[in-house]
Every structure is written in structure tokens, then in C-alpha cells.
Amino acid sequence: MNVKDLNLAEKLLSYFTFFFAIFLILIIIKTFDVSYPITITTTTKSTELAVVGEGKVDAVPDTVYIDAGIAVSNAATTEAAQQTLTTVNNKIIAAMKSLGIDTQNIKTTNYSVYPNYVYENNQNRISGYNGNAMLTIKVGDPDLATKVVDEATKAGANQIQGTRFVIDKPEKYRKLARDKAIANAREQAQQLASSLGIRLGKITNIVEVSPNGIVLPYQSARYAAEAGGGGGPSFEPGVQTITSTVTLYFEKN
């Protein structure tokens, strides 16, 4: 047998071996009902301990927002409705300035004039014009809230729709709450480590849930335009709770 024939024989043998191997694998899969593709799953032992901590700080609100305005019903014309709204609106603003409230803290949040319809003789007709004008007043001294409502009412406001007490700059309280949450998580981690018989390593990660304050429900009231005497209502700011929740991840040694 020459060299050429020998090389050909080797190639044929390699082809035969390859196809025989494939045939053998198919026989095994068929005989033993092996499903494919085969998935290999590996597991690793956790090397971290995650602990959630919570911190809370109570704070007295230092700012109050008051919505005060005027509502007009059945004015003869749109101009008459607008004139009443503008006159009372300007009087309220002047009254707020007299209390020392800066115009930057007085914001027009609603102004609208629209027709009022009545149905008569099988058709709608305009019986007059209604209007609303509303100011949101930011007061830096919650003790002034009663005076603001009283003076706004005297100026002609017949709509006092709400008072909202807030903490104007809550960042320092959020930091205090966060520090408490971290301390709480550390304490719990030490207790867990002691119970599990493990040693804690360094902190590998920290995740904080977006901090928020628990906002108290606003107080609302309505006053008639001709109301007077007896003084204004009493408002109590109460307290707000700033909450922080953190998750600390510790190495386990």
C-alpha cells in the first residue's frame, strides 16, 4: 500500500469514528431518555449578611401653606365677575403684606371665570357668570396662621380651603433619621451574628429607601364673606415623623 492509499484509509477511519460516536450518543439519549440540552447548575455559599434598619425623628413643622381666595356666583357680566375677583384678590395680597409676608411667598394658584347655565323653555341660557380666584400663601411662622386666615377673611376671602404644615428644610432631620437607621441595622447585625455564631466583616454595600416624611392631613375650613368677630380659628402644627430605612450588607467571616 503506497502513502496516498494510507492517507485515504486514515481519513476514512476518522470519518467513521466521528459518525459512530454521534450514532452512539443518539442511542444513549434514546435508550435512557436523556433530555437535552443538559443544564449544569452550580451553587455558591452566600458570603454576605443583609440587615434592614429603620430610624425615625419627630420634628415640629416650621412652615404653613394656606389657600385663601374668593368665589363669585351669578355676576351679571364677565367683567363684573372679574372686577370682584381682582378687587378682593388685591385686598388679600395687601393684607398679607401688612403682616410682613413677602410677595414671593404669595402665589396665584387658580383664576377662572365661566358662565352659569339654567335650563328654561327647552333650552339652556346663561343666567350669570361665576368665578374663582385662589392664592397660596407660604407662612414661615406657624403661629401666624390664625392671623393670616383672619385677615384674609376680613379682606373679602370667602374660601379658605386648606392649611398644610410642613418642614421647610427637612434635610437635617433626614440625616438624623438615616444615622439612627444605620445604628439600628448595625445593632441587629451584631445580634444576628451572635445568634448564628459568625463574625461580621466590613460593610460592602448600603441601600437607602427614598426618605420621606409622614405628612399630616391638612385642616380645612370655609368662611362666609360676611363672617367677622370672634377671632379666627386655632391651628396646631403637631409633629411630623421623618423616616429612613437602610439595608446594610456585611461580609461574613
pLDDT at residue 47 greater than cutoff 90: no
pLDDT at 17: 65
Percent of the chain with pLDDT over 70: 72
Hey, is 82 helix, strand or coil?
helix
Residue 47 or 64, more confident: 64
pLDDT at residue 211 greater than cutoff 70: no
Rounded to 10 deg, the angle between the 145-154 and 78-98 helix axes is 140
pLDDT at 214: 45
Pick the range with the lowest mean pLDDT from 27-31, 33-37, 163-167: 33-37
Q: Domain locations in the chain?
A: 1-42, 62-168+217-236
Q: How confident is the model at residue 210 (pLDDT cuts 50, 70, 90)?
A: low
pLDDT at residue 36 greater than cutoff 70: no
Hey, is 247 helix, strand or coil?
strand
Q: Please tell me the distance from the alpha carbon of residue 231 to that of residue 37, in angstroms, as a whole number.
A: 83
- Which triple of cell numbers denotes residue 229? 368677630
pLDDT at residue 107 greater than cutoff 70: yes
Q: Please tell me the distance from the alpha carbon of residue 71 to that of residue 108, in angstroms, as a whole number.
A: 14
pLDDT at 16: 61
Q: Please tell me the distance from the alpha carbon of residue 209 to that of residue 56, in angstroms, as a whole number.
A: 13
- Which triple of cell numbers denotes residue 60? 415640629
Give pTM, 2 decimals: 0.64
Q: How confident is the model at residue 97 (pLDDT cuts 50, 70, 90)?
A: very high
Q: How confident is the model at residue 85 (pLDDT cuts 50, 70, 90)?
A: very high
The tens digit of pLDDT for each residue in 127-165 reads 999 999 999 999 998 889 999 999 999 999 999 988 899
H helices present in 127-252, as ranges: 145-154, 171-196
pLDDT at 236: 80
Average pLDDT score over residue span 187-205: 91
With a CB cutoff of 8 Å and minimum separation 6, the contacts of 118 are 124, 125, 127
* CATH-assigned architecture of domain 62-168+217-236: 2-Layer Sandwich (3.30)
